[in-house]
Amino acid sequence: MTPFSPEQLNFFKLSTVVLDEFPVALRLVFVFMWDSLVAPRPGFQKWDDSQRVRKIFIKIEGKTKYVKPNKSYMQWDCTALFEATLFAQSFAVPDGKGGFGTLHDVYVKPRHLLSGTFHLFVTSPSGNQVETFALALDQLRLLRNTLCHQISTQKIVKTTFDHCIQFAKDAFIALGQSIAKIDDIGKLGEKDFPTDRLQKLEEELRREKFKQIEDN
């Protein structure tokens, strides 16, 4: 196998963070949000991944594009998990106009981020935990989309890589998730990416690229 350049190794390390660690964190956040924001309502229940609770979720959401209610949430990928949290009606909040909006509509859209940029801070200025979750979730979405945009080159320069890793760690901390595995992945070397692992990463990235949720 041809030796990697440092930029290629950065790409594969960030791919591992996004594809292996983001879904784990997003599932934990989804369950936390469901159990704390939805389950206490009359007639609802905590998330146990049963068919019954998934049907309750879909009843609130209506038709979903990426979430498959017949599948365990453990099988939902990043795109489905963003749809189930950041863009979900289940976690809608007052929009200040007499109605309700998704976390993305209420907390992300008003920031008018330029394409290709990230949130400089993912904690709510007012200490609002729901807003913090919205910003941190969106930061992970932006990082995932940025990675997908690099598939053609499979290279990420060190400065960009360092910023992406720090943004990911900041978002994980804001979401109450451990950053230990992100740190471990940052220490991986070329020998940790044999051909079969690279092929799996590339296949997963191609699938993710065609299912990105972009800002409307």
- Residues 100-123 have pLDDT tens digits of 999 999 999 999 999 889 999 999
Place of tokens 């998704």: 102
Place of tokens 């070397």: 189
Q: What pLDDT does residue 2 have?
A: 63
Q: What pLDDT does residue 216 have?
A: 42
**What does the mean pLDDT of the chain come to?**
92
Judge whether residue 213 has pLDDT over 80.
no
Judge whether residue 195 has pLDDT over 90.
no
- pLDDT average, residue stretch 13-39: 96
Q: d(Cα 93, Cα 169) in Å, to the nearest integer?
A: 26
Q: d(Cα 113, Cα 92) in Å, to the nearest integer?
A: 21
For a pLDDT cut of 90, what percent of the chain falls above it?
78
- pLDDT average, residue stretch 81-92: 97
Judge whether residue 165 has pLDDT over 90.
yes
Judge whether residue 146 has pLDDT over 70.
yes
- When mean pLDDT is compared across 43-47, 125-129, 138-142, 208-212, the lowest value belongs to 208-212
Q: 205: pLDDT confidence band, cut at 50, 70 and 90?
A: confident
**Residue ranges of the domains in the chain?**
6-209
Residue 141: which of 114, 171, 112, 180 has the closest Cα? Answer: 171
3-class SS string, 179-210? CHHHHHHHCCCHHHCCHHHHHHHHHHHHHHHC
Q: d(Cα 69, Cα 175) in Å, to the nearest integer?
A: 24
Q: d(Cα 39, Cα 134) in Å, to the nearest integer?
A: 19
Judge whether residue 150 has pLDDT over 70.
yes
Do the beta carbons of residue 79 and residue 66 sit within 8 Å?
yes
93-94 and 100-101: which strand pairing?
antiparallel
